[in-house]
Structure 1
Amino acid sequence: RLVWHAGRTWRGRVAGLVLAGAIAAVGIWQPVDPAELQWPALALLLLATLLGAPIFTALGGAALIFLVGWGEPPASVPLNHYRLTTDPTLPAIPLFTLAGYFLAEGGAARRLVRVFQTLFGGVRGGPAVATVMLCAFFTSFTGASGVTILALGGLLMPVLVAAGYSERTALGLLTAAGSLGLLFPPCLPPILYSIVASSSTDSPVTMEQMFQGGFVPGVLLMAMIGWWGVRQAPKVKRSGRRLDWAAARGALWEAKWELLIPVVALTALFGGFATPVEAAAITALYAFFVEVVIYRDLRLWRDVPRVMTECGLLVGGVLLILGVALGFTYFLIDAQVPDAAVAWVTAHIHSKLLFLLAVNLLLIVVGCLMDIFSAIVVVVPLLVPLGVAYGIDPVHLGIIFLANLELGYLTPPVGMNLFLSSYRFNKPIPEVVRASFPMLLVMLGGVLLITYVPFLTTALPHWLAR
């Protein structure tokens, strides 16, 4: 199986097998100090990554190479992977994501589009506001996986164009709105951040703190994108009633069970009635019951296994990356890399405001080169000790991190939403980038506000903790 996946052709597979055999032969017949092979092995690993090797092989391979080179047991990587499985909040990740997949694969998109269209479609900019709210709703439940654009793009693009928006404006709005909702519960990245950050510092950051701290900044980003959408709306004089109350009541009644899903999730999560894992299980069970039993959009034996398989592929990939990255984090801590980074940065940057600016610039570059899940497991262990050294609230630092990585969904060369929009709407990548650029600037302004006005992040958690 390893040989088969070593390349797309037999030539590549044979070359990979021969190379692996040659390396093994050298190690057996010509023993050398492992430290001497460290940099050649890293160069080979980098080449494999550039040729398309999965990110988990790069992280895990780098961890093994560094540990062996430093004389540490390579078993530290699987041991740290096992330690991940003992985290009590870990089961919440697949369960919350499964709830989102049930919504995305069922008929929720069609019903919710009708709700927001009847409520906001009669006012100038209403379709843009509906797009922002609906995309944020879906993204929060689908784990920032890009499902939002695929599930809603075909429904919302005709609505925006029919409302008078140009195709380019509608394309940019949908591409940007697909990343909104990342800071809201029960989205996957804040949960991952809390797990990784808690393993990197003596002051744990809980899932509840991350979601509480992200609520106001998330609303701010939604409001700014919505404001831009309203400003871009065509100035067409509308006649007749602004709101069809009968149609609105009908749409609300039809989607009533799906509109209650956030209430169920938030009540279970923050109401003290259940642990985070129990809240995730309740939310997933509720979404299953709504889509399979009430609306019957999903068939029990035909659709549910497929949906669970797709969800498992996403979550399994994320957890595989996270597990091997914890081994890489173990090496960084053992080699005192975070301590060295803190010493160097504090010696050269004396202003907290300047440090925050440097963090934003760094994270924008990271967002251009890495997806959000890889960035969390690689960068957070280095960033959290720096934040502690500058006295930055750990929840505030986490929201800054995630808000910057939201920009990464719109930044080339690896902005996921750019590729998904290109695929969904059959547009070339440069056209999608140009259409999304104004929203990128708007979101950048929001990120700077979140960075330099910590009250936006810390007020709600402190108020709820009283």
Structure 2
Amino acid sequence: MSGMVLIVFVVLVVISIPIASSMAITSFLPWLADSSFAAGPVYLIRSIASGLDSVPYLAIPMFILSGTIMSKGAISEKLFDFISYFIGKKRAGLPCAVIITCLFFGALSGSATATVAAVGSMTIPVLVALNYDKVFATALVAVAGGLGVIIPPSIPMIVYATVAGVSVGDMFIAGIIPGILIAVCLMLYTYYYCWKHGEDKERINEVVDKIRAKGFGKLLRESFWALLTPVIILGSIYGGLATPTEAAVISVFYSLIVSLFIYKSLKPKDLIHIFKESVEYCLPALFILATAAAFARVLAILQMPQNLGIWIGSTFGTKMTLLIAINIFLLFLGMVMDTTPAIVIVAPILAPIVTSMGVNAVHFGIIVIVNLAIGFVTPPIGTNLFVASSVSGVEVLAIAKKAIPFLLFFLVALILITYIPALSLLLL
């Protein structure tokens, strides 16, 4: 029975049936094959209905909404100008400023695609105007956008924490050092690329001089509210003033106030489109989470996690070989499946197995999310590739090829994160 369920699920995914529908269909198969099976239609429908009955899940639509507001509200532009003021004239300064902007914007939106859309739409034209290769600039944003799910707050971290039974706050704290490490690795390659291919220093100096001509005081006043955003969101969580869900609601109101009344980059009439766009992002993710709850219960009844655990334990005898195998599996999974369904499917199965071998559940969550973040820039799913392509007009395959060196440095960071648990757990 277990084999049949897995085969049908894989076939449905391969023939491009949506993930949520594939899980829902597969969940009913054991009952159709055997009417005495414990998970009948009523049980499954109740499981789907109760799949979203989780307070942490309320943070997901709120962070998506706040990220959409920020992406439309010129907040990424303020961050980029502020960072460029300090490092713009250094070698690879402006491309590195793009990476740091992605790092900051990830701490505002919790979404990789929102980070690519917001930062890419503003910075790619700037880099192209400065004679940087357009494909390089687009690949840079596409890969750096993955920081949006690693640096807290992160929507995939909320999903993992909920399905794996760990603290959302702990996941957020654990993502800080890995996110910075990955950003540093990406900047190292960016520096090498600019050293090898050269830069148009004359044009770069003109742009940076215009930014500096505003004066530090004025620039700080313009950027202050954007820079304050992650302090308010993360500070309220780590300071014990708000739960992650409450902080998500705070981020919505804060981004609205800043965009409407301080920067005045949005008008009330723009909100209808923003709300509509946010709902379009939210509904697929929430439907996946709902059907995944029923699918997980069916797998539990079939004792699939226990059987898989026995097989993995007998095949991979040490923690090191187990983590190597899981990393390879997750990298492949990230190529063919989006982050949310991948987490809700594999986390409940793999987390108990790795923790039984001495791997901290929070550390494992960071490993999972970093692996799947690489999937944002790998075909055929690679959502960051498609978003970056729509922003820049560059073909997806061209972006993917140019992104390969960035991904190699991303992989170096993944190896360090996997085998040095302190990088994830030091701040806990």
Common fold: TM-score over 0.5: yes
> 1:292 corresponds to which residue?
260
Deviation per CA, 1:424-458: give whole Å up to 9, x if none.
22222221111111011110111011001111111
Aligned-pair CA distance for 1:51: 5.0
Structure 2: how far apart are the matches of 1:371 and 1:412? 11
**Match in the other structure for 1:369:** 336
Q: 2: distance between equivalents of 1:127 and 1:193? A: 34
Contact 2:115 2:148 in 1 (8 A): no
Q: Using the alignment, how far apart are the partners of 1:108 and 1:128 within structure 2?
A: 18
1:323-334 paired onto structure 2 within 5 Å: 323-334=290-301
Which residue of the other structure, out of 297, 305, 320, is the alignment partner of 1:353?
320
Structure-2 change in CA distance of 1:237 and 1:427 (3 Å): closer
Cα distance in structure 1, aligned partners of 2:200 and 2:106: 33
Give the match for residue 7 of structure 1.
none
2:51 alignment partner in structure 1 = 84
Q: Give the alignment partner of residue 187 of structure 1, picking from 146, 151, 154.
A: 154
* Cα pair 1:78 1:324 within 8 Å, conserved: no
2:28 is the counterpart of 1:64: yes
Could you give the per-residue CA deviations for residues 246-290 of structure 1, whole angstroms, max 9, x where no partner exists? Answer: 534322211211211111101211111122222222121111111
Residue 223 of structure 1 is matched in structure 2 by: 184
The answer to whether the 8 A contact 1:63-1:331 is kept is yes
1:416 to 1:184, Cα distance in 2 relative to 1, 3 A = same
Paired with 1:237 and 1:49, the residues of 2 have a C-alpha distance of 47
Distance in 2, Cα, partners of 1:40 & 1:258:
48
CA distance in 1, matches of 2:271, 2:148: 25
In structure 1, C-alpha distance between the alignment counterparts of 2:365 and 2:72, rounded to whole Å: 31
Higher RCO (Cα < 8 Å, 6 or more apart): 2
Aligned to 2:194: 233
Q: Distance in 1 between matches of 2:15 and 2:44?
A: 24
Question: Over aligned residues, Cα RMSD in angstroms?
Answer: 2.5
Contact 1:49 1:58 in 2 (8 A): yes
Q: Tell me the distance in 1 between the aligned counterparts of 2:14 and 2:308.
A: 27
Please tell me the residue identity of whatever aligns with 2:183: M
- Superposed, 1:15-34 pairs within 5 Å as none
Say if 2:207 is the partner of 1:207: no
1: distance between equivalents of 2:249 and 2:214?
35
Letter of the aligned partner of 2:21 in structure 1? T
The AA in structure 2 aligned to 1:408 is G
In structure 1, the partner of 2:144 is 177
1:390 aligns with 2:357: yes
SS at match of 1:181: helix
User: What's the offset of the Cα at 1:225?
Assistant: 0.4
Shift of 1:390: 1.1
Q: Name structure 2 gaps, 5 residues minimum.
A: none
Counterpart CA distance in 1 for 2:287 and 2:22 is 12
Contact 1:136/1:179 (8 A) holds in 2: no
The answer (yes or no) to whether the contact 2:5–2:29 under 8 Å persists in 1 is: no
What is aligned with 2:164?
197
1:274 counterpart letter in structure 2:
A
Report the structure number with the largest CA radius of gyration. 1
Q: 2:234 aligns with which of 266, 277, 300?
A: 266
TM-score calculated relative to the size of structure 2? 0.90
Instruction: Give the secondary-structure state (helix, strand or coil) at the position aligned to 1:460.
Output: coil
Relative to 1, partners in 2 of residues 1:237 and 1:422: Cα closer, same or farther, differing over 3 Å? closer
Q: Secondary structure at the match of 2:55?
A: coil
Matched residue, 2:19: 55
CA distance, structure 1, for counterparts of residue 135 and residue 160 of structure 2: 34
Q: Trace 1:88-237 onto structure 2 (pairs within 5 A).
A: 88-198=55-165, 205-234=166-195, 235=198
Identity %: 30
Structure 1 residues without counterparts, runs of 5 or longer = 1-34, 199-204, 462-466
* Structure 1 residues 277 and 175: alpha-carbon distance in aligned structure 2, compared to 1, 3 A threshold: closer
Partners of 2:284 and 2:46 in 1: how far apart? 18
Partners of 2:306 and 2:76 in 1: CA distance: 48
2:279 alignment counterpart? 312
- Residues 181, 42 of structure 1: alpha-carbon distance in 2 compared, 3 angstrom cutoff: closer
Aligned residues: 417
